[in-house]
Amino acid sequence: MQTPAAASTPPLESAGQPGYVPDPEPARQFRPGEDPNLVEDLRGLAEEASALAKAELAFQKSRAAYAGSQAKKILALCVVAAVFAFFAVTAFIVGLVISLAGLIGPWASMAVVTVGLLLLAFVCLLNAKSRLNATKAVVSDGGENGR
């Protein structure tokens, strides 16, 4: 009479049966006192760690290559956007001069727009100077008093 566990276990496949796949590596001979399970587990762990490290390195290389290629495209798009913004600001300034010319004359409108732009540039320079001084103060004392 067979036990239930023996009845449910499939028979072992042998070389003559379909579906048999021979073991690609011959069995390793162990020295007396070696635990074959521990040695094989450690060998498998080392192989898996090596494979994982190689896969992670390849993944990070591909990420870096992708980021590098995208950075070039992003930079090109930013340059194109800056060129268009420059032309838009130029068109706005020309339009401002033309529209003011009807009210105060062409020379006066050119002077008003120029002075207005120079005032905006001066305000930006003052802001940049104050930020530069604040940065110098933080850097010179090691950042202890700049927070």
**Global model pTM greater than 0.85:** no
Dist. CA 98–CA 92, nearest whole Å:
10
Residue 113: Cβ within 10 Å count: 19
Residue 44's pLDDT is what? Answer: 87
User: Would you list the domain boundaries of the chain?
Assistant: 36-139
Find out whether 116 and 108 touch, Cβ atoms under 8 Å: no
Residue 140's pLDDT is what? Answer: 87
DSSP 145: S
Residue 98's pLDDT is what? Answer: 93
Residue 141's pLDDT is what? Answer: 79
Dist. CA 104–CA 113, nearest whole Å:
12
Beta carbons within 8 Å of 80's beta carbon, 6+ residues apart? none
Residue type, 134: A
The stretches in the chain having pLDDT less than 70 are 1-36, 142-147
Residue 38's pLDDT is what? Answer: 81
Which class for 10: exposed (0-12), middle (13-18), buried (19 or more C-beta within 10 A)? exposed
Beta carbons within 8 Å of 96's beta carbon, 6+ residues apart? 109, 113
